[in-house]
Every structure is written in C-alpha cells, then in structure tokens.
C-alpha cells in the first residue's frame, strides 16, 4: 500500500493540543492524526454494519414481550 501526502492548515492552538495528545501516547502528531482517522473510520463502518444488521433482522422489539409479562401463546 502506497502513501499519499495530505497537507492541512490549522491554527497553532489546535496543533499544540494535537502535539500534547500525541506526546501522551509517545507518538508523532502525524501518527496520532492517522490513527485517530482510522479509528473514526472503523467506528463509522461498524455502526453502519450494526444498522444494516438491525434493518435485516429487525431490532427484536416486535417479538420480545415487555419485562415482567409472559409471551402471548402461539396458535
């Protein structure tokens, strides 16, 4: 997998905060930003997969009786 350059313009305060977060983890700012973007991308893909599964199977609320109530008899 090759790499590509992405150039960002940000204010000094944001860059300082990124440096602090990266330093706490022993990372460079570049590595910290890339890992954060990868994590966010995974979170979005995971949520989309969960949503799709719920659409396909339903969320289960139609078949589960409320807490403390017996399920209706099958006919």
- For the segment 62-75, what is each residue's pLDDT rounded down to a tens digit? 555 556 666 566 65
Tokens read off for 10: 């940000």
What 3-state DSSP class applies to 10?
coil
Domain boundaries, the chain: 30-59
Tokens read off for 25: 């983890």
pLDDT for the residue 65: 54
Full-model pTM: 0.57
Mean pLDDT for the chain?
A: 83
- For the segment 48-60, what is each residue's pLDDT rounded down to a tens digit? 888 888 888 876 5
- Contacts (Cβ under 8 Å, ≥6 apart) of 28: 22
Contact 50, 58 (CB under 8 A): no
């Amino acid at each position: 997998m090759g790499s590509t350059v992405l150039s960002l313009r940000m204010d000094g305060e944001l860059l300082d905060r990124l440096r602090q977060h990266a330093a706490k983890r022993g990372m460079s700012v570049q590595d910290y930003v890339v890992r954060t973007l990868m994590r966010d991308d995974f979170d979005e893909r995971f949520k989309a997969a969960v949503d799709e599964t719920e659409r396909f199977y339903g969320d289960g609320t139609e078949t589960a009786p409320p807490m403390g109530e017996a399920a209706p008899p099958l006919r």
